[in-house]
Structure 1
Amino acid sequence: MKNHQYLQLAAILGALAVGIGAFGAHGLKPILEANAKVDTFETAVKYHFYHTIAILILAIWLNIQPEMKKISRVIWSFFVGILIFSGSLYFLSLTGINWLGAITPIGGLFFIYGWLSLIWLSKRKIS
């Protein structure tokens, strides 16, 4: 993926986070309240946003210093984390299918891996 495409990815993820959050607060409120999953949905949106902002910052950094190619590993880890962690929580909160909670931690592991990779890369001067 080219460096500028990471900025586009962050923009798409940010727009989705706003749209999903707004839709959940307004259009899906009766469904979420019926399933008693408002908190679950809000958690999904928060982590979606946090990691989208992290992707945006890393994408900007990568565009400023394109030689830091390994930073893309962190971006992809956060992206997969959003898909699995937030995605499973979105689905769980809308459907009430509780077994999906079993895959949510996998997304959390991708988030943790991304943050730990960032520490490791910073110690190696991100080359």
Structure 2
Amino acid sequence: MKLFLILGVLNGFLSVALGAFGAHGLEGKVSEKGLSQWSKAVDYQMFHTMALLVTGLLMSKIQTGMMTSAGWFFFIGILLFSGSLYIYAPTGIKTFAMITPLGGLSFLIGWILLGYAIIKHI
């Protein structure tokens, strides 16, 4: 429970910092497409930061391995999806773009597990 709350707080901080860096530090240095990809990474990191926080809070009410798994899938999704876009946007290295869908799949699995745990236990 506490771990996902801490991961949520850290990712919230990072998404704000990386969003500001993208808006001010990358402008004029990265293509419009790169800036759009960076922005998408920030958005998805923040959305799933909220999912981490909700998961952490719900763990006090729902104590099941599905909740823990959901939290880890959200966190891994942030690393793979947003992380790969943070690297791909300024570099254009296609290998990183190929990792992004794995992060998206991780997000989907996290949402399925979270939803199932809620339906089954509340």
Give the TM-score of the pair, scaled to structure 1: 0.87
The residue aligned with 1:30 is 28
Matched, 1:114 2:110: yes
Amino acid at match of 1:49: M
How many equivalent residue pairs? 122
The residue aligned with 1:89 is 85
Amino acid at match of 2:110: G
**Secondary structure in structure 2 of the residue aligned to 1:8:** helix
The residue aligned with 1:9 is 7
Equivalent residue in structure 1 for 2:36, among 39, 55, 58 = 39
The residue aligned with 1:58 is 55
Shift of 1:100: 1.8
Cα distance in 2 for residues equivalent to 1:104 and 1:72: 23
Amino acid at match of 1:26: H
Matched, 1:99 2:95: yes
% identical aligned pairs? 38
Give structure 1 regions of 4+ aligned residues with deviation exceeding 4 angstroms.
none
Structure 1 unpaired stretches of 5+: none
Shift of 1:88: 0.5
The residue aligned with 2:19 is 21
